[in-house]
Amino acid sequence: MKQVFHKILSFLMALVVVFSTVSFTIDMHYCGDTLVDTAIFKKAKTCGMEMKKAVQTKTCSISKKNCCSDKQISIEGQNELQISFDSFSLNQQVLITSFVYSYINIFEGFEENSTSFSEYPPPLIVKSIYKLDEVYII
């Protein structure tokens, strides 16, 4: 049980390290106020209603407002991991000591199996109660 717990804990810690160092971008395409497409690691697909650039002629220029918009959310990962622990605050020291103490004592078993009724003999069977009550286990 203890080895399985250690394997699960080490796997979860590896996932924490991987997810804390990965950076990614979420790209969203809105048409008006409606979200049309969302993409991670690539450009979101458009709805096909983008306006062309303003048409300019010698006499007049016409421009329309674009109803579509793109949003990008970038989540930066951690570039450097802190490997050494030079100093701990008092709260961190209390947390570490209480965790280690409780972890060590969780797997500590009893030395002997103590029962309070071991000195008393069982009662004598005078009659078979299951025969009297006609209750049989099938």
Mean pLDDT of the chain: 79
CA distances from 74 to 19, 38, 124, 134 (A): 14, 13, 79, 76
Tell me the per-residue pLDDT of 48-71, one tens digit each, with 9 for 90 and over: 776 655 555 556 555 566 788 888
User: Partners of 68 in the beta sheet?
Assistant: 31
Q: Which two tokens stand for residue 103?
A: 């972890």
Q: Do the beta carbons of residue 44 and residue 38 sit within 8 Å? A: yes
Give this prediction's pTM: 0.40
Tell me the per-residue pLDDT of 72-100, one tens digit each, with 9 for 90 and over: 988 887 777 666 667 788 898 899 999 99
In whole angstroms, what is the distance from residue 106 CA to residue 99 CA?
11
Q: Where are the domains of the chain?
A: 2-80
Which residue did the predictor score with more confidence, 124 or 14?
A: 14
